[in-house]
Each structure stands twice: as C-alpha cells, then as structure tokens.
Amino acid sequence: MNKVLIIAEAGVNHNGNFKLAKKLISAAKKVGADVIKFQIFKADRLASKNTPNAEYQKKTKFKNQFEMLKKLELSDNDFIKLSKFSKRIKIEFSASFFNENDLNVVHKLGMKRVKIPSGEITNYSLLKKIGSINKKIILSTGMSNLKEINQAINLLIKFGAKRKKITILHCNTEYPTPLKDVNLRAINILRKTFKTQIGYSDHTISIETPIAAVALGAKVIEKHFTLSKELQGPDHKSSLTPTEFKKMTLSIRNTEKLLGHEKKFVSQSEMKNILKCRQYLVASKDIKKNDAFGFHNTSLKRTGSGGISPMEIPRLFKKRAKKKYKKDDKI
C-alpha cells in the first residue's frame, strides 16, 4: 500500500526571510513531512499595484496585495539554495507557480512535482507551460467547479501531461475554512469523474479534517506549516505549528494502518481467539453410547479448545453417540 504523501505547505510563511525558510525545511523534516512546498512568484507578475487584500489578508499590516507579495518574495537563487538544502537533509522540495515565466527556474530546482494553486486553475498560459515540462502535477481545485477542473485537466493533457501523473486536490479557498464548507465527500466525486489520484489541501485549523480525508481515500495531504502562529503574515494563523503538524502526521500514519486492505479476512492477531470465543456443541446431560443427538441432550458453550461448530447441527443430529459423554463434555 502506497503511503499518503504529506506536504508541509511553507508557502510564504518564511516572511521573505531566507534563514526562516531554511528553518521551515528542517522543521518539516523533523515532524515527518514528505515534501516541503513554497510559493514561487514575482509580485509585479502576480498583482497590480492597487489590488486589494483578500478578506483573510486584511489582518496583515500591508495596505494591498502587491505590497504584501513584494515583502514575501524570495529570489530564484534563494530557492535554488533551499532546494539543495532540502535534498541534503532528504526531504522533497516542491513549489507552487503563478506565472509561466517563473517556471524557467523549475529545472534548476530539481523538482519531481509542481503545484498549480487554486487561483490559477483558469490560467491558460501557466497550464500550457506546466503541461509541457514533464513533471508530476498537483492541481488544487478551490473556488472551482467540475467544468473548470475538466477544462484545466484537458489543457494539461493537450500540451503533454499524462493523466497518471496528475493529482487533483480537493480544496476550499478560505482561511481558515469553516467546517461546514469543507465538503470532504467531494473527494469521491472527483475520483469518479476524473480517474486521477485525489488528495486534499486543508485550510481548516484542525488536524481532524485531513485525517478524515485520508479515511475517504485521499492519497496526498497538504497543510500549511509555520514555526509560530504569532508571526506576522497572511497564513500563519491558519497554519499548524511543528507540534501540531507532527501530531497530524502520526495520526495519518495510524489511519493508513487502520484502513488496511479492501479484503475481509481473519487477521493473525485474532486467529488465536477463535477457539476461545466461539461456542461449540457440548453434552447438556449425560449421554449414553448409541443415544441419538438432539436439542434434548446437547447445548452450546465455549470450550476453550474448539469442537463441533453449531453450523454442523443438522448433520450431527442425524447421528448417534459412539461413546459415553458426561455433562459439559465436548462432543
């Protein structure tokens, strides 16, 4: 059984600070994440100068998105160094992209997979470029409907992507997401509709939600990760601290064990209990040799060592005793 891929979404929680970004990578490795993911962008390619903040971003000190994004930028060279550091400590490095021009650095980063954020699911130029670079693709689907998801997947495939290399993430783009809007059963709809691997990108403040998503079959879990919720920035408050993230990771790994296989069988651990817990046929009174067996002289009890199953009653009650039995003797 393939393990669930757990992505620590560092995003912009480095606050534009290279040293903090490096600490996030080390912390993600320690708490059991498989992947550390950042957001690679240039503010002047992503937002107009006067683009207002989203509702959840209004709590920051920045007057608009451009000012905020400019502060949260890291250079291409920073990301190359971070990618090399990730490789050194053996955690996969990945990133979201928002503009096709920013993808020019992707091969220098040695990435296995790239992420298309929810807001870019209708970004024709980005989808075209990502479809052509022969990487595993994660497509987040917040704020989108089935038609838009289908259009995005068809576009990726048209320009070279393989469906088997695409993972769709169910997602709700609100920070934090109210539990009533999570709608985890959409995971089943996405799987049936698009025949791809399905995951879940979580923006709730709980760890229960991604665990439930795994129980529903999510094969990738992405969760925002921060060193402290008290840091300034748009995503820290809706991110998990290292302690919380480690708890989530352990719970997901336990959930994988709990789910097991789509087979029903007697496990090794319970095998030894069959003879102890099932009831078998015993004499309910003394039985003489040649007496006929029947409900009048047998009953069912736990014997601790097995015996004739009650399912054999129709066959047994046609026979006669070949020896004497005392009350409570196993037949």
DSSP string, 31-97: TT-SEEEEEE--HHHH--TTPPPPGGGTTSS-SSHHHHHHHT---HHHHHHHHHHHHHHT-EEEEEE
Q: Hey, CA dihedral for 212, 216, 219, 221, is it positive or negative?
A: negative
- Determine phi and psi for 173, rounding to 5 degrees: -90, 70
pTM for this structure?
0.90
Domain ranges across the chain:
5-259, 268-316
Nearest-angstrom CA–CA distance, 92 and 114: 11
What residues contact 162, with CB distance under 8 A and at least 6 apart? none
- Residues present in the chain in total: 331
Burial call 177-206: b when 16+ CB within 10 Å, e when fewer: beeeebebebbeebbeebebbbbbbbbbbb
Sequential pLDDT tens for the chain (331 residues)? 589 999 999 999 999 999 999 999 999 999 999 999 999 999 999 998 878 876 666 666 777 888 889 999 999 999 999 999 999 999 999 999 999 999 999 999 999 999 999 999 999 999 999 999 999 999 999 999 999 999 999 999 999 999 999 999 999 999 999 999 999 999 999 999 999 999 999 999 999 999 999 999 999 999 999 999 999 888 899 999 999 999 999 999 999 999 998 899 999 999 999 999 999 999 999 999 999 999 999 999 999 999 999 999 999 999 999 999 999 999 9
Question: Does the domain spanning 5-259 belong to CATH 3.20.20.70?
Answer: yes
DSSP 272: T
Specify whether the CB–CB gap between 283 and 316 falls below 8 A.
no
Nearest-angstrom CA–CA distance, 148 and 159: 17
Q: Which residues pair with 6 in a beta bridge?
A: 221
